[in-house]
Chain A
Amino acid sequence: MKKLFLIAVLLVAGFANAQSRYEGAMEKGLAQLKDAKTPAEMLAVSAFFERVADAEKDKWLPYYYAARTNILGGWMDPKADKDQSAEKSKELIAKAESLEPNNSEIFCLKQQVAVQQLTVDAMSRWQTYGAVAAEAIAKAKAADPQNPRPYLLEGQYLLNVPEAFGGGKAVAKKLLEKSLALFGSYKPASPLYPDWGKELAEKTLAACQ
Chain B
Amino acid sequence: MSSQIDPMKLAIIIVLTFLCSYCLTAQVLVTGSVRDNKGRILAGASVTLKGTYDGGNADSTGRFSFKTVEKGSFMLVAANMGYNTVEIPVLLSGEPVQVNFSLKEAFDELKAVVITAGSFVASDKRKGTVLKPLDIATTAGAVADIAATLQTLPGAQRVGEQDGLFIRGGSAEEAKIMIDGAVVNNFFYSAVPGIAQRGRFSPFLFSGTVFSTGGYSAVYGQALSSVLSLESVDIPERSEVQIGLSPIFGSAGFQEVTKNKKSSYGFSYNWINLSLYQKLVPQAPDYFKAPDLHTVDANFRFKTKGNGMIKMYAYFNTADLGIRNPSLDSIGLKNAFSLNNKNFFTNISFRQSLGNGWKLNTVASISYNKDQIRNEVQNADNQTTPVTHIPEIDYNHYRLNNHQWMIQARAVADKRFGAINTLRFGTEIWNNADSFRYSNQDGIFPSAVLDFYTAGFAEMDLYITNDLAFRPGLRAEHSGLLNKWNLAPRAALSYKLGPNNQLTADYGIFRQTPDRRFLMNNTNFDFLRADHYILTYQHISPGYTFRIQAFYKDYRSLLKTDDALRNATGTNGSGYAQGLEFFWRDKKTFKGFDYWISYSYLDTKRNYNNYPMSAMPTFAATHSGSVVLKKFWVKQMFGMNWSWNWSTGRPYYNPNLPASEFLSNRTIAYSSNNFSLNWLPKIGKANSVVVVGINNVFNELQIFGYNYSSRVKDGNGKLISAAVVPPAPRTFFLGLFLSWGVDRTQQQINSNL
The answer to whether A17 touches B20 (Cβ under 8 A) is yes
**Chain A residues whose C-beta falls within 8 Å of the C-beta of B280 in the assembled complex:** none
**Chain A residues whose C-beta falls within 8 Å of the C-beta of B57 in the assembled complex:** 40, 43-44, 47
* Residue among B48, B681, B682, B743 making CB contact with A51, cutoff 8 Å: B48
B583 → A minimal CB distance (Å): 18
The answer to whether A2 touches B635 (Cβ under 8 A) is no
* Residue among A1, A13, A17 making CB contact with B2, cutoff 8 Å: A1
Asked if A128 lies at the interface with its beta carbon under 8 angstroms from chain B, I say yes
What 1/0 mask marks residues of chain B from 642 to 676 whose CB sits below 8 Å from any chain A CB?
A: 00000000000000000000000000000000000
Asked if B14 lies at the interface with its beta carbon under 8 angstroms from chain A, I say yes
The answer to whether B52 touches A55 (Cβ under 8 A) is yes
The answer to whether A14 touches B637 (Cβ under 8 A) is no
* Residue among B5, B48, B51, B637 making CB contact with A162, cutoff 8 Å: B637
* Residue among B53, B132, B745 making CB contact with A48, cutoff 8 Å: B53
The answer to whether A9 touches B2 (Cβ under 8 A) is no
**Chain B residues whose C-beta falls within 8 Å of the C-beta of A9 in the assembled complex:** 10, 13-14
**Chain B residues whose C-beta falls within 8 Å of the C-beta of A55 in the assembled complex:** 51-53
Cα A166 to Cα B54 in complex, Å, equals 47
* Residue among A10, A25, A165 making CB contact with B13, cutoff 8 Å: A10
**Chain A residues whose C-beta falls within 8 Å of the C-beta of B60 in the assembled complex:** 40
User: In chain B, residues 1-30, which have Cβ atoms closer than 8 Å to a Cβ of chain A?
Assistant: 2-3, 5, 10, 13-14, 17-18, 20-21
Cα A163 to Cα B680 in complex, Å, equals 10
User: In chain B, residues 581-638, which have Cβ atoms closer than 8 Å to a Cβ of chain A?
Assistant: 587, 594, 632, 634-635, 637
What 1/0 mask marks residues of chain A from 12 to 23 whose CB sits below 8 Å from any chain B CB?
A: 011011000100
The answer to whether B21 touches A124 (Cβ under 8 A) is no
**Chain A residues whose C-beta falls within 8 Å of the C-beta of B46 in the assembled complex:** 47, 50-51
What 1/0 mask marks residues of chain A from 96 to 132 whose CB sits below 8 Å from any chain B CB?
A: 0000000000000000000000001101111110110
Asked if A58 lies at the interface with its beta carbon under 8 angstroms from chain B, I say no
User: In chain A, residues 160-176, which have Cβ atoms closer than 8 Å to a Cβ of chain B?
Assistant: 162-166
**Chain B residues whose C-beta falls within 8 Å of the C-beta of A126 in the assembled complex:** 745
The answer to whether A127 touches B237 (Cβ under 8 A) is yes
With A1-B2, A40-B44, A124-B132 given, is the CB distance from A131 to B237 under 8 Å?
Answer: yes
* Residue among A25, A54, A83 making CB contact with B110, cutoff 8 Å: A83
The answer to whether A166 touches B744 (Cβ under 8 A) is yes
* Residue among B44, B110, B124, B687 making CB contact with A128, cutoff 8 Å: B124
A47 → B minimal CB distance (Å): 4
**Chain B residues whose C-beta falls within 8 Å of the C-beta of A84 in the assembled complex:** 81-82, 110
Asked if B386 lies at the interface with its beta carbon under 8 angstroms from chain A, I say no
Asked if A52 lies at the interface with its beta carbon under 8 angstroms from chain B, I say yes
With A121-B542, A123-B134 given, is the CB distance from A51 to B54 under 8 Å?
Answer: yes
User: In chain A, residues 30-83, which have Cβ atoms closer than 8 Å to a Cβ of chain B?
Assistant: 40, 43-44, 47-48, 50-52, 54-55, 83
The answer to whether B44 touches A43 (Cβ under 8 A) is yes
Cα A163 to Cα B683 in complex, Å, equals 12
Closest to A53 in B: B53
**Chain A residues whose C-beta falls within 8 Å of the C-beta of B54 in the assembled complex:** 51
Asked if B55 lies at the interface with its beta carbon under 8 angstroms from chain A, I say yes
B14 → A minimal CB distance (Å): 5
The answer to whether A2 touches B745 (Cβ under 8 A) is no
B231 → A minimal CB distance (Å): 14
- How many residue pairs, one in A and one in B, have C-beta atoms under 8 Å apart? 105
**Chain B residues whose C-beta falls within 8 Å of the C-beta of A87 in the assembled complex:** 81, 110
What 1/0 mask marks residues of chain B from 538 to 572 whose CB sits below 8 Å from any chain A CB?
A: 00001100000000000000000000000000000
Cα A6 to Cα B2 in complex, Å, equals 13
**Chain A residues whose C-beta falls within 8 Å of the C-beta of B17 in the assembled complex:** 10, 13-14, 17
Q: Which of B3, B50, B587, B634 has the most CB of A within 10 A?
A: B634
Cα A88 to Cα B108 in complex, Å, equals 13
**Chain B residues whose C-beta falls within 8 Å of the C-beta of A14 in the assembled complex:** 17, 20
Cα A120 to Cα B682 in complex, Å, equals 27
What 1/0 mask marks residues of chain B from 391 to 406 whose CB sits below 8 Å from any chain A CB?
A: 0000000000000000
Cα A160 to Cα B632 in complex, Å, equals 15
**Chain A residues whose C-beta falls within 8 Å of the C-beta of B635 in the assembled complex:** 162
Asked if B383 lies at the interface with its beta carbon under 8 angstroms from chain A, I say no
Asked if B747 lies at the interface with its beta carbon under 8 angstroms from chain A, I say yes
Cα A93 to Cα B215 in complex, Å, equals 42
Closest to A3 in B: B2
The answer to whether B55 touches A47 (Cβ under 8 A) is yes
B407 → A minimal CB distance (Å): 34
**Chain B residues whose C-beta falls within 8 Å of the C-beta of A13 in the assembled complex:** 13-14, 17-18
Asked if B702 lies at the interface with its beta carbon under 8 angstroms from chain A, I say no
Cα A123 to Cα B594 in complex, Å, equals 11
Closest to A17 in B: B18
User: In chain B, residues 429-486, which have Cβ atoms closer than 8 Å to a Cβ of chain A?
Assistant: none
Cα A16 to Cα B21 in complex, Å, equals 13
**Chain A residues whose C-beta falls within 8 Å of the C-beta of B681 in the assembled complex:** 164
* Residue among B10, B53, B82, B747 making CB contact with A25, cutoff 8 Å: B53
What 1/0 mask marks residues of chain B from 370 to 383 whose CB sits below 8 Å from any chain A CB?
A: 00000000000000
Cα A26 to Cα B283 in complex, Å, equals 77
The answer to whether B745 touches A51 (Cβ under 8 A) is no
B29 → A minimal CB distance (Å): 17
**Chain A residues whose C-beta falls within 8 Å of the C-beta of B299 in the assembled complex:** none
With A5-B5, A127-B745 given, is the CB distance from A48 to B13 under 8 Å?
Answer: no
Asked if B125 lies at the interface with its beta carbon under 8 angstroms from chain A, I say yes
With A51-B48, A124-B124 given, is the CB distance from A6 to B13 under 8 Å?
Answer: yes
Asked if B501 lies at the interface with its beta carbon under 8 angstroms from chain A, I say no
A192 → B minimal CB distance (Å): 15
Cα A54 to Cα B681 in complex, Å, equals 51
Closest to A129 in B: B124
The answer to whether A2 touches B82 (Cβ under 8 A) is no
Q: Which of A21, A25, A164 has the most CB of B within 10 A?
A: A164
Known interface pairs A2-B3, A13-B13, A83-B110; 18 further A-B residue pairs with C-beta atoms within 8 A, sorted by A's residue number: A6-B13, A9-B13, A13-B17, A14-B17, A25-B53, A40-B57, A40-B59, A44-B56, A47-B55, A50-B48, A51-B48, A51-B54, A83-B125, A84-B81, A123-B134, A162-B635, A165-B746, A166-B745
**Interface residues, chain A, CB within 8 Å of chain B?**
1-2, 5-6, 9-10, 13-14, 16-17, 21, 25, 40, 43-44, 47-48, 50-52, 54-55, 83-84, 87-88, 120-121, 123-128, 130-131, 134, 162-166
Query: Could you pull out 30 A-B pairs where Cβ atoms are within 8 angstroms?
Result: A1-B2, A2-B2, A2-B3, A2-B5, A6-B5, A9-B10, A14-B17, A14-B20, A16-B18, A17-B21, A40-B44, A44-B57, A47-B56, A48-B55, A51-B53, A51-B54, A51-B55, A54-B48, A55-B51, A84-B81, A87-B110, A121-B124, A123-B134, A127-B745, A163-B637, A164-B637, A165-B744, A165-B746, A166-B744, A166-B746
Ranked 4 nearest A-B pairs via Cβ: A166-B744, A13-B17, A47-B46, A164-B637
